A and B are shown apart, each in its own frame.
Chain A
Amino acid sequence: MTQEQSDWQINTAHASPGRFKKFAGKHAREYASLFANLDKIMGLLAAGQKPGSFQVGFFRSEREGVYRIGQTGVPSAKESRLYVYPDEQNRIMYVLNIGTKEGQAEDINEAHRTARSLKPTIQ
């Protein structure tokens, strides 16, 4: 019998709670949708899929191992993004940042900086 791999975990240690709290207060429906979509991605990873090996409209690579998750199914939604960094080796999905389309350039840069700081610690 093959040994079962441990489940993927979501890590929020590198996310700014203040930023997430503010976003959730301002765009509650989009916030819930982003995390519901994160749940879908977690389901795919748990089923053995690798990040980047599958094509899903709301899950896009932003280079350097960072992915963005978009909101879906929310009428008249504010275009929103949840930035994550999947660590395949340790099966950890790091939640890095959240924001709207307007601020995405800076949000992505920030997510890249955090992901870079994570990489040396990931063995």
Chain B
Amino acid sequence: MKTTNFGSAAEAAALLADDPSMAAKVQQQIAHNALVTALLTMRIGKGLTQEMVAQSMGCDPSKVSRLESGNDRQLKWLDILAYAKALRVDMSVTFDDSGLPAAERIKQCVFRIDDDLKKLAALAQKVGGDDQITREIDRFYKQVLFNFLVRFKQNSEKLSDVIRISAQPPQACLPEPSGPHHPTLAESAPTETTRC
């Protein structure tokens, strides 16, 4: 007996078409609509109608309808900006260069977090010391610090494990030294790191 309940539209499409390759075609369409879907979902989530968005964008509702009925390739940059502005959503573009070293990418994340925390600090100063918002921000700062320390510790421990393993490699697996000596990671790492 065939399954008739599905969690995904792509699977249902493939079964009804009696064509397993149809699932991939539907998935591809879904992927090509990712940005349009995100915009549409935000509009509906905010309880805005196409007319409201059109009014804010200064265009006809039919344009909003067309934009939402298109795919990502048909979107125009300025329309996305205007649509996001109508939803009162800030937009930022992140160029995430996967070729960059991990350290550089982490540094960029830290700078971004720093910017956001500064914004919160500025808000706290603006609303004054006794306000509930300030207390909430203070609580949030502590949460950020706590979450950061927990994750930092976990990752630091993982790193220490790697260093410890390198420091004591199983002797049986090591080939006989021949040629010039190259220091291992453990040898080149600072003593304090290898001790922890």
Which residues of A line the B interface, CB within 8 A?
7, 9-13, 15, 17, 20-21, 24-25, 28, 31-33, 35-36, 38-40, 42-44, 47, 49, 54-58, 72-73, 92, 95
Contact = CB atoms under 8 A, between A and B. Distances in A.
A55 B16 CA distance: 27
Interface residues on B, range: 35 or more
A73 B35 CA distance: 13
B9 A10 contact: yes
B13 interface: yes
Interface in B28-69: 28-30, 32-33, 37, 40-41, 44-45, 49-50, 65, 68-69
Contacts of A73: 29, 32-33, 69-71, 74
Contacts of B40: 40, 56
Most interface-central of A12, A13, A21, A25 (chain B CB within 10 A): A12
| Secondary structure class of chain B's binding surface, majority of residues | helix
Contacts of B49: 55
A37 B109 CA distance: 35
Nearest 7 pairs of A and B residues by beta carbon: A24-B17, A36-B29, A20-B16, A73-B71, A35-B13, A13-B4, A39-B9
A18 to B, nearest CB: 9
B105 interface: no
B8 interface: yes
Given A24-B17, A49-B44, A56-B40, A31 B22 contact: yes
